Amino acid sequence: QVSPEQVILSHSPLQLFSQFHQRCMLVAGQGPVEENAHNLGFKHVVTIEALRKAYPLLDMVDLSRRPKELPPPTTGFPTIEGVILFGEPVRWETSLQLIADVLLSNGNPGAERQDVPYPHLPVLACNMDLLWMAEAKMPRFGHGTFLLCLESIYKKVTGKELKYEALIGKPSPVTYRYAQYLILQQAEKQGWKAPIRRLYAVGDNPMSDIYGANLYNNYLKSAQQSQVQAGLKRSPQAASPQAEVSLELGNDCNNSVESCESILVCTGVYQHNGAVPKKTGETVFHGHRDFCFDPSLVEASHIVQDVDDAVQLAFKKENWS
């Protein structure tokens, strides 16, 4: 039986970003995004729908939703101090427009256009998968596709790159670091004395699951090398800019783990006949813009049929079978 504290969603590591918990944050996505934000520690949140209602002149793409009469001016609406992108929204044009308005107005979308602020407000984005596999024969657009649209629009309008305060979820090292932290906590609760040396990451998407696990494995190796060279135990430096945020998870997170092995299953995005080409020039990189492509990072340590086989493989490697 899996307990709630053992489950990591793409947004779970946002609990660590306490420097934003007291700020007024715009939250975008679908489902209970406001409730999710509160559960993660954010005290003041504004949804896209609340922003649309407060400023009805902003959402103009759908002719049927344009106001028939000029609404009274909005008063008392808080200044937005950051943006959280939980996942793909339902009405992309509305979210793209209003998020852009917030960034271009420095959190005051009802104000007249001034010089575009840059750097813009902090943006924290969860879940970067460009594609995901559902019941359709071909993969579907994921939140990574929405981020691609937002980045392109911002660059086209301003001439500048959209910058993220953090990218969270696979393949970000922040997420794997957080997972390691929870695993070590669970081991301590179970009273395990033997140190955990290896992590096993199972997934069906080479460009997110396998890429992320291999990237984190490189991060662990780099951390060990840094500790040996320094001659002391300390928190390792991040392997990439996206890993620099909120990795200070306590000394217990650094004490034993040496590697993260990637296991690719064939029950989702990856199919046996869709092998990754060896040459970079022959590969279409589906990962996020801020993660450089290395063909070796999408080559799994192991390929098995399904999750059950992956678990059995881990048991065998740990001499538990």
How are the residues of the chain apportioned to helix, strand and coil, as percentages rounded to the nearest 5?
A: 40, 10, 50
Mean pLDDT per 10-residue run, the chain (321 residues)?
72 95 98 97 98 95 91 92 97 98 96 92 95 89 97 98 96 92 90 93 90 95 76 40 44 71 90 51 76 90 96 94 65
How many whole angstroms separate alpha carbon 308 and alpha carbon 262? 15
Q: Which is nearest to 187 in space by CA: 6, 315, 4?
A: 6
Question: For residue 239, what are its two tokens?
Answer: 């392997």
- Give me the pLDDT at residue 286, please: 83
- Give me the pLDDT at residue 274, please: 52
List the chain domain ranges. 4-167, 193-230+248-318
Q: Which is nearest to 154 in space by CA: 168, 166, 164, 140?
A: 164
Question: For residue 220, what are its two tokens?
Answer: 């662990």
Question: For residue 187, what are its two tokens?
Answer: 């081991």
Handedness of CA 185, 190, 195, 198 (dihedral sign): negative
- Give me the pLDDT at residue 277, please: 41
How many whole angstroms separate alpha carbon 311 and alpha carbon 190? 19
Cβ-contact 282, 212 below 8 angstroms: no
Cβ-based neighbour number of residue 304 at 10 Å = 18
SS3 45: strand
- Cβ neighbors of 153 (< 8 A, separation 6 or more) are 96, 100
pTM of the model: 0.81
Q: Which is nearest to 9 in space by CA: 31, 196, 291?
A: 31
Q: Return the exposure string of 139-148: e unless at least 16 CB atoms fall within 10 Å of the residue's CB, then b.
A: beebbbbbbe
- Give me the pLDDT at residue 225, please: 80
Q: Radius of gyration (Cα) for the chain, nearest Å?
A: 22
How many whole angstroms separate alpha carbon 70 and alpha carbon 260? 58
- Give me the pLDDT at residue 233, please: 40
> 4-167 domain in CATH 3.40.50.1000?
yes
Conformation bin of residue 201: beta by default, left when phi > 0, alpha when psi is -120 to 50: beta
Question: For residue 21, what are its two tokens?
Answer: 């918990």
- Give me the pLDDT at residue 112, please: 87
Task: Please calculate the CA angle 203-206-212 and round it to the nearest 5 degrees.
Answer: 75
Q: Which one-letter amino acid corresponds to residue 257?
A: V
